[in-house]
Chains A and B, each alone.
Chain A
Amino acid sequence: MSNLWFLYVFFSALLIFTGIYCLLTMRNLIKLFIAVEVISKGVSLVIIATGAVKNSILLAQSLAITYIVVEVSLVATALALIINIYKKNKSLDIRSLSKLKG
């Protein structure tokens, strides 16, 4: 049974890798946030797969739904930020945001 679990973990690792690659290399703010969404898909896949393999799918389902609610809240906040940044800079390029030096 746990062979199956590793299959899902394998695929979600691919998703998370793709997301992190994009976060590290891309410059468009909206693209960056799409990357975050891809990472969160990987995480929710692991949650449901774990529940399905360990016979606690009901619990895993409620966790996944809660996670989706969190995601919606985050997306709303982040997109509001992006629109505000666009209003100020007239650009979605991460390089136009270099007033702070990290």
Chain B
Amino acid sequence: MVFSFIFLPLLIAACLPLIGKVSKKLIPDVLTNAALAFLLLNSILLIKPVFTRGSLLQNITWFGENVNLQVALDGFNLFMLFTIALVSLCITLFSIDYLKHYGYQANFYALLLVMVAGMNGLVLVPDLFSVYLFLEVAAIASYALVAFGLGPEELEASFKYLMLSVVASAFVLLSITIIFGLTGSLSFQAVARGLQDLDGGGLIIGICLAFFIMGFGLKAALVPFHAWLPDAHPSAPAPISAMLSGLLIKVSGVYALFRFIYSVVGMTPALSKVLMAMGTISIVVAALLALGQNDIKRMLAYSSISQVGYIILGLAIATPLGIAGGLFHLFNHAVAKGLLFLNSGSIQHITGTRNLNELGGLGKKVPLTAGTNLIGALSIAGVPPLAGFWSKLIIIIALVQAKHFGYALIAVLASILTLWYYLLIQRKAFFGPLNDRWLKIKEAPFWMSAANVILALLCLLVGIFFTPVFKIWISPAAEALARGVQQVLMWGI
């Protein structure tokens, strides 16, 4: 059952180009959405077995022969699987109407499904080299998707993204190889055990970690390595921007980095300090850069860098509460940033521009788009009672508990900055006098609005029912990570 997360999207993606020859629109739409809905259902069904047993290991055999197809599932990666399935389902719902701009649906969906398969695989495999491979699967699909419009800007952004990302993954693979050399194996468990038994070699492991932080930091767009993101994310079609900002940077950057650090290498105080400093720099620098942007999507992209800084700050505190806060913020940001990027697609569909200075007064004409945008923006900015408020609050409480008062203060101040630039979007796009150009505009088509509304409701409901959600859903995931290396050693492969 767990394997369907990898095989089903791949299988459908392989068939789609052929199906696209027969039916241009209907069948690819239905098939893609059905597949992602199935995966969402599947991840919900897995909650009970995984949480009661702590972790779940599955093997499949090939005609009775033992082959090494093995996945390991615990609270942390189940949480990621659920987030991936949920957000990507909303994104494909949105794409049903949005793709009229681009044409060639079948191929688009196929690439999107390959990307989903890559992310699911990355999350599921308990093996260093396979993590690298699935990282590449998702990345190659994303290069093509960023360039999907084939305009000069898209192509340029995609090329830049490709170059930096290839170097990043080369460094990741290099340090995986060195760890392979030190411990003689590649599976999480054996590597974790090998590193514990290793005496000496601290310097080399330090270098490996530096490479990991560089490589995955580039994928997650931490600040010294962020240059590609403000180009790549806005240039892509809106659903892909939502996919990249909402999911890909978190899965291939944050998830992979922290899985390695917590479950394989083991967290140390020095590492925690370095990551917290990097996270904080990201928060502040990207928030300041976001203020100066006129393009909605560029502003959202800078905001993504800033929010990923929060997630990393939370996860790097290395207390259970901090990890829980980081993961909760990861989920909230995936939902809200997905919503905002989709919403910017709606705005572009309605008006044909993304320039904030040309918009204005849209709120009266398109209340649904304006309302959902407001909810998403306030959630990310951290206004109660929306979901983003609680996760930021937890991160700040965790910082105070761990006696990092300086970081806590910066986190609070930066969140005010966040609120400021999101209100800037609201004021320039939706409030104020209506520009004469927009007198005849109509609300976005059904599926686009539906996807926006679903995600906005999630922001609202998770905020209101924050206690049960946190207790049932976030805490087990955080516990799995907080147990550190023990968690992996417990798997008993």
Residues of A within 8 A of B160 (CB): 100, 102
Segment touching A, from B86-94, B142-150, B403-411? B142-150
Also in contact, A36 and B163, with CB within 8 A (given A43-B174, A77-B140): yes
Residues of B within 8 A of A88 (CB): 151-152, 155
Among B143, B184, B227, B231, point to the contact of A56 (Cβ < 8 A): B184
- Give the number of residues in B that approach A within 8 Å (Cβ atoms): 34
Among A36, A59, A82, point to the contact of B167 (Cβ < 8 A): A36
Residues of A within 8 A of B151 (CB): 88
A66 CA to B147 CA, complexed, in Å: 26
Cross-chain contact A81 with B147 (CB below 8 angstroms): yes
A94 CA to B228 CA, complexed, in Å: 15
Instruction: Let me know if A63 is at the binding interface, CB within 8 A.
Output: yes
Residues of B within 8 A of A47 (CB): 173, 177
Cross-chain contact A78 with B235 (CB below 8 angstroms): no
Cross-chain contact A81 with B158 (CB below 8 angstroms): yes
Interface of A, secondary structure class, is: helix
Cross-chain contact A23 with B133 (CB below 8 angstroms): no
- Identify the closest chain B residue to A85 (Cβ): B155
- Identify the closest chain B residue to A63 (Cβ): B129
Also in contact, A77 and B143, with CB within 8 A (given A23-B163, A97-B159, A100-B156): yes
Cross-chain contact A81 with B184 (CB below 8 angstroms): no
Interface of B, secondary structure class, is: helix
Instruction: Let me know if B181 is at the binding interface, CB within 8 A.
Output: yes
A48 CA to B181 CA, complexed, in Å: 11
Name, among A20, A29, A39, A77, the residue most crowded by chain B CB atoms within 10 Å (CB to CB): A77
Distance in Å from the Cβ of B324 to the closest Cβ of chain A? 35
A32 CA to B133 CA, complexed, in Å: 23
A56 CA to B186 CA, complexed, in Å: 12
Distance in Å from the Cβ of B112 to the closest Cβ of chain A? 16
Distance in Å from the Cβ of A65 to the closest Cβ of chain B? 12
Cross-chain contact B184 with A54 (CB below 8 angstroms): yes
Chain B contact residues, CB within 8 Å of chain A: 129, 133, 136, 140, 143-144, 147, 150-153, 155-160, 162-163, 166-167, 170, 173-174, 177-178, 180-181, 184, 186, 227, 230-231, 235
Could you list 13 examples of A-B contacts with CB < 8 Å?
A32-B163, A43-B173, A46-B174, A50-B177, A53-B181, A74-B140, A77-B144, A78-B162, A81-B155, A88-B151, A97-B156, A100-B231, A102-B227
| Top 9 A-B residue pairs of the complex, sorted by shortest distance between their CB atoms | A50-B181, A97-B156, A100-B231, A88-B152, A85-B155, A102-B227, A70-B136, A46-B177, A39-B170
